[in-house]
Every structure is written in structure tokens, then in C-alpha cells.
Structure 1
């Protein structure tokens, strides 16, 4: 599909053609976005999507932490929520209004300063509010659905809607948000807590992550969902995949549910390694691992 600039609606934010995505994702691999749009505000995004040809695909991009962008790039428009969407404000004593581009670290730190407990787990998830809401992001026994009251969404049609948490069809690492919808803000509710105790819990979570995960590597976070009754990392380890390499990609020796770009891996290397791990786990245990990392775009 050829998508000429003349066919695109005008915007108040920034719109770039053939924009490299590798620098924007944690794996530091993959192709370019046909168009990368950073809207100025929610109305800018809504106006753009309203006037954009309905056949053009739209994908939201957060921190790119749980994502493989294939080497052929992403057709259509990639929407990235920048600074205008990164604000976190206190709505009441135990509730925060969070922009879709706000990081988990910012949300949890703001909650701590406000004496709001229950949001500490967001400290450990390398992503943004929009991604948490779409994927029901979670860690350390908590999930987004435990704290979400409602979210503001711009649908692919350009319509702006507010959806209650129970309208999102949440299950493990899944929501029923439609394709092309962009979460622009969310209301998170915790409980009254002591800032010192909240900080202590955040420190505990940070230390646990540091000890168990390859945080300073080019990685994509948890690769596979935990199957019912199993831990994905244990299945991968039992199948003999710890340290397994393919091209420039490797299964982490520190945490076997993480894939690494050792420096020159293509996205094809990373995805093929993941598929080889799935094959070996199936052969060893009979369990079919399901990807947690999102894989988008075209192969070369």
C-alpha cells in the first residue's frame, strides 16, 4: 500500500515518513514505520483518525518494551504518545489520572508521594499506561484490572469514548480493546497508605527484578505467557534452552523467559529463536507456549 503525504490529514503534532522504529523499542531491532505520528493532544489524534482512510492500519506504540518490530517495518500509521500524554495528576485522595504515555515508574512514584498504596507493581513494568491498559499488564501478584476505574480511548474511527474497566473484557495479559484504538488516559485507584511503606515495597520489587532479570540488556521483557499451572521460564529451562543462540539472539541465562539481542540480531533472529523455544518446549513437556511479546509488521 502506498500512502502518500497528500493522502494524510493535516496534524498539529508531528508526522514523519519512513521513521526508524529500532531506536524506539527495547530490542533495538526492526524496520521503520511507514508513518510515525506524535499527536499534540487527544483532539489532534481524534481529528487525524476521523479523516484518515479507514483502510489504513493504525498501531499505538508506548516504550516498545514488549514488542518485536519485524524487519520489513510497519505499514500504515504508528501513533506514539509523547510528553503531552505523560502527565500524572491526583484526582482524589486515592485516585490518579494518568496520561496514556506516562511510565509505570512515574505513576508509582506519584502514587507514593500522594500516599496511595496498591500501585507499587507498576514500578516493575517497563511500559506506559496505554500499554498496561491494553494488555492488562501485571507483575508481583497484581494486574491493571485491579486498579483501573476507567480509561479514555480514541477509537480507530476517531470517536472518543470513556470505558469502564469491566467493559474491557480483561483476562490474563489481554483486553478486548479493538484494533487501532489508542488509550489516551486512565483513572487508577489504590488505597490510603504510608509513603515510607510504599517506597519500601517499591524497593523490594526493584531489587527482585534486578536480581532475576537481565535489565541492562537489549530485551523485550517476558517472552511467553505463563501457561495454566506452569511457569514459562521453568518450561523453557527444562527444555534445555537456557543460553540457546540463533544468529545474534540468545535465550537469557539469567532468566529463561527473556530473549536478548546480543548486539547485531535482526528481528527475524529474535522471533525465530522464540519459535524454536516454543518447539522444544512442546516436544519436551507437551505444553504450547503462547507469545506474550507482541510481534508486528512485515517480514523482509
Structure 2
């Protein structure tokens, strides 16, 4: 496995808590990719010496120094041992080429985090949950369907990346001709990338903002492109994803089997977000699945999509903490 060089300094976009112990670790997935993570350990160890634990990742195009780290640190303050990790090909994690996203590999990243946690002496292997934010909310649901070791799953301000990639925002481009036109463009890009020996990037969050930018694009800009959330290793804050990553999402919908999740699931979404249709569709599928009784959709009044990245007055940490405490 590759030996990763992890920055020794605190370079998060949120302040460090004096209520938890922070450290950095690495673990590998089944594709041989070494992943970097921050560990947040509560002050007090449980009487039995075994923590309930949560692995956190997302948003799509973010790094662990942004929203996922904030979630992990805050939940550690509530008594859970947590890790926030960079997915494959991004941040401090390994993988080449850089800035590649994959529904299969990124789902595996969650299960690899479970591999790591289940082998820690201070972790209850029957008390492991996961939390995905934005596009990694969809990957978390996919992992929850595929990996029964995950005893509880939370998806916050969730995106279905396959749906938005294949259909466009609000399903406005949901047609075979439009998808085929996108495939033709990306296939041409693959040829050019191979010839160039490099991979073209799609561009991160648009900057500067055009005058006609939709409100949700302005919300993304306010997070990723300002001191509020900018990070030098974040895909969205900088050059964006490998352009041809979109191909795998168009043909491999990760939410196909979420109705078979037996363990508890909590979906949280902002009332004023542009994106709650993703969570509402997922919840409808969960409601008609094998065990609907332990599935819940929580709509946060007045919150937009990025409020659930870092707005401590909007993120329902009480509900999330109680959900994990009850189900792990």
C-alpha cells in the first residue's frame, strides 16, 4: 500500500474542539487505494471500552476538512467515536488519476471505513453507522443496502448523483437523445485525454458568479469559494472533477436496491433546498421496502441545501445523535 503524507497541522474550515481528541489515520479499500481520515475520539471511553462509531463522508467534491469533519467532530462531542475520510482519488487519499468519482469505488470507500472500524479494539463491531452528505448521501444509502455490518445510515441533504448526471437538474434533460449526446461528448473527451496523457477537469463551482446564476449555485459559491468553506484540496473549490467521471454515473444508478435495506435509515433535507426531490424519492422507495418502520425523512424548516453543510442552527444534530444512539 502507498504511504500517505498527511498534513500535521489543523487546516479545517471549522474551529477545533477542545472536547474531543483528534488524530489522523489511513486505511485501504478493496481496490488497493489508501484512504486518509481524521479520527475524533470523545473524552470519555464507555464503561465496556467499546465505542459506538460513525464514518462520515461528503459532500460530493468536498474534503474531510470541510462539512464531513464538522459532522464528525460534533458527533464525537456527543460520545461517538467518528472518522471523516477523503474518498478515493481526492483530498489526502490515494488514487490516480486525481479527481475521479465512481459510484462503485465510492460506495466501497464506506465499507472500507467499516473494515477499519470493525478491527479497532475500542469499537463495538455491532455498533457501526455511516453518514453521507450531499452526493455521498446517495453512496451511503448504496453502502447501507450492500453491507449489513452498517447498523444505521444517515443521508444529509442527499443527492442522487446518477439521476442528476443522467437527467439534469429537476429531470429537465431526461431523454435518450440528450443522454446520448452527453455520452458522445464524453467519449470524444476520453480520446483527447488519452492523446494528451492527462484528464480534463470539469471545473469546480463557477467563479465569478454570472448575473443569472440560480440561487442554489449562489449557495454553492458562498460555501466553496469563500473563506466560509474554501479548501485548497477540495475538488469543488478548485478545478472540479475529472470530466469523464460522469460516464460511470449515467450507467450505474447506485440507489437501485435501497428498498432492501433492513437496518434504520434517516434522511435529512432542507425545506428551502433545491434538492429535496432526491431525498423524497429515496424515502418513497424505502417506505415501500422490506422494513419501512425504521425509515424516517426529516425536513428542516427554512434550510437550504448548503445550510446542512455547516449551519449549526440548521443541521439536526440532536435528531442525528439520538438516531445513532438508539440504533447502534
TM-score of the superposed pair, with normalisation by structure 2:
0.30
**Structure number with higher strand proportion:** 1
**Structure number with higher helix proportion:** 2
TM-score of the superposed pair, with normalisation by structure 1:
0.32
